[in-house]
């Protein structure tokens, strides 16, 4: 079994992606590698932030790694919160604070179109590769479900009538933006390593 570093401290993301890697790789997060500091995400695109994080780990450890950046883009809010999804409501934010601010800003706007967007950047033996995933859907006006994390309780993916917050992880992992990007990453790793 091969080992690969995922440049995140988020145990939810590690669990989601490890479930998709099955037996191909053992995934290790930053904390397991002794990296406790927050890696700055100063780029204005998902790809830019994913690259910053992957480069940081590559330069520090010299080990093949990948990083992701993802967020929710709401059409009526001009694509916000976008790359600011994690700290939309400020530095000392919670998922609930972010959701509350988004719903407040959306107000009674009838346009609830939105999409989750994920970019994964892999640095494998010093070479950089990018993988993207998108899932379109709509924002609900109230939270539904206690599964998932982040904006999951207010996002209904296209073709469904339940939010990500109401879905089991196995179901979400089949269709989420991160799942779509991870499928591309896993296919690449399985055919190129």
Would you name the residues annotated as active-site residues?
A: 69
The answer to whether the CB of 147 falls within 8 A of the CB of 169 is yes
Rg of the chain over CA atoms, in angstroms? 16
The answer to whether the CB of 95 falls within 8 A of the CB of 156 is no
Label residue 191 exposed, middle or buried (CB < 10 Å: 0-12, 13-18, 19+): exposed
39: DSSP letter: P
Q: Which alpha helices (DSSP H) does the chain contain, by range?
A: 11-21, 46-61, 95-106, 169-175, 177-192
Report the alpha-carbon angle 179-174-48, nearest 5: 15
Longest dimension (CA), the chain: 51
Q: d(Cα 8, Cα 36) in Å, to the nearest integer?
A: 10
């Amino acid at each position: 079994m091969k080992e690969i570093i995922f440049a995140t401290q988020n145990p939810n993301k590690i669990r989601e992606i490890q479930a998709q890697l099955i037996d191909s790789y053992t995934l290790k997060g930053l904390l397991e590698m002794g990296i406790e500091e927050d890696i700055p995400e100063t780029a204005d695109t998902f790809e830019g932030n994913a690259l910053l994080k992957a480069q940081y780990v590559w330069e520090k450890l010299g080990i093949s790694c990948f990083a992701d950046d993802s967020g929710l883009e709401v059409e009526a809010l001009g694509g916000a919160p976008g790359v600011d999804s994690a700290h939309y409501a400020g530095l000392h934010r919670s998922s609930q604070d972010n959701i509350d601010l988004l719903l407040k800003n959306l107000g009674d706007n009838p346009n609830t179109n939105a999409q989750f967007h994920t970019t994964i950047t892999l640095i494998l033996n010093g070479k950089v590769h990018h993988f993207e995933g998108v899932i379109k859907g709509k924002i609900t006006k109230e939270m539904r479900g206690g599964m998932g994390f982040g904006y999951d309780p207010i996002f209904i993916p296209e073709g469904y009538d339940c939010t990500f917050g109401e879905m089991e992880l196995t179901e979400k992992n089949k269709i989420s933006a991160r799942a779509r990007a991870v499928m591309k990453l896993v296919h690449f790793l399985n055919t190129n390593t």
